[in-house]
Structure 1
Amino acid sequence: MTDAPARRTQEQRRAETERRVLDAAMELIARSGSRGVTLAQVGEAAGYSRGIVYHQFGSRERLLEAVLDEAQRFGVPEYQGNGLEHLARIVEAYLRNVAQRTPSARAFLQLWGEAIAADPALMPLFAQRDADFRQFLVTVVRQGVTDGSIRDDVDPTAAAVLILALVRGCGLQLIANPPVRNLPALVREAKRSVRAAFGTTP
């Protein structure tokens, strides 16, 4: 009983340290990519000793994995009975998240670019996470076919690839220099493209 509060306090301190380290890492990666970022730089940017990142994560690869997991999160809307509109809302949520130009969104797309350029640490991390995201989109497309909002001749796997390409390509342009400025128009056209490509109504 007496050591339970101390254990919680230690866990809270560890969680705070991890949060600050991840925030610092995302800020540095968002600014200039991951290749020139060292564990020591991340620790110092987080306000800790040079060795704190190694102590928390053990390696650069483990840190990048944690950054990627954190950076790819965005508020996914819930399915409400219409798979086509669910897809459209997912596209909108993704683009609005990127458009905020937060360090996490910019870090994610920086890391994605490095993975495409064959970074050996990032390629397998993105391969698995992209496969998971595509599988999620496959499920949404199948829901739409079942509820009648998506054509039954749509190939769910191919549709998932196209949707991922749409949001990633638009996302890169939203953080480009200069970025795309008219977010409402981009979101409107992206959603219209999804509806036109997969919907049952001509």
Structure 2
Amino acid sequence: VKSLLLRVPLRWFDANPLGRVLTRIAGDMWKVDDQLMAYFGIVLGSSARLLFTAGMLLYTAPVAFLFVPVIYVPFLVYVAWPNQEAQREMERKKMQCLSKVFSHFNQTMAGAPIIRAFKQQGAFIGENLRHINMYGRRRLVSYSAFQWMKLRLQLLGFALFTITTLGPLLGLAVRGPRATPLSGEELRGNATLFGLSLQYAMDLRDLIGGFLFFIILFEI
């Protein structure tokens, strides 16, 4: 970081105040030291749980598992990945606005005697409120965009849940009324697999949403 700062042109420091630079460096160092490995572990754990859940869904409800690529692959290709680029950019814009808040506050505290001497407290308070308002807007846009993607993901999960629910009913319909009745153990086994398939179908929806969210945080 130090070598990069020494090579940038001087006009870059005119456009980026010292407080903003220090805030960004401190934030990046904190993410590398503290959050990077945590997010990396969460992404790996989510990936392992996602594979395990998909495997269990394949075992408990093979028919429903066949619809997973049909439902989720178009969503990931045409919705999630383009939205991920936009979400990443919105998160960066939000952090830039937050950096402006801290930078302006740092400059205000450093020049507090001069500000009070010229009676410019109102102007600096108004400027600080404008920075806070801009940060709030960026945060609202980022949160709304992620919730909109999450809502669509939940609708797809509801479709998978419906297919998982209708799978056993379709199986009974295929057997027909003249088929040999199932024994008690077979009924209990089918009921257990049916309950597990519903649980794993819901878990698969939540895991995909969490996986996308932590991928965005990991790349910021």
TM-score normalised over the length of structure 2:
0.28
Normalising by structure 1, report the TM-score.
0.30
Higher relative contact order (CA 8 A, sep 6+): 2
Structure 1 or 2: more helix by fraction: 2
Bigger Rg, which one? 2
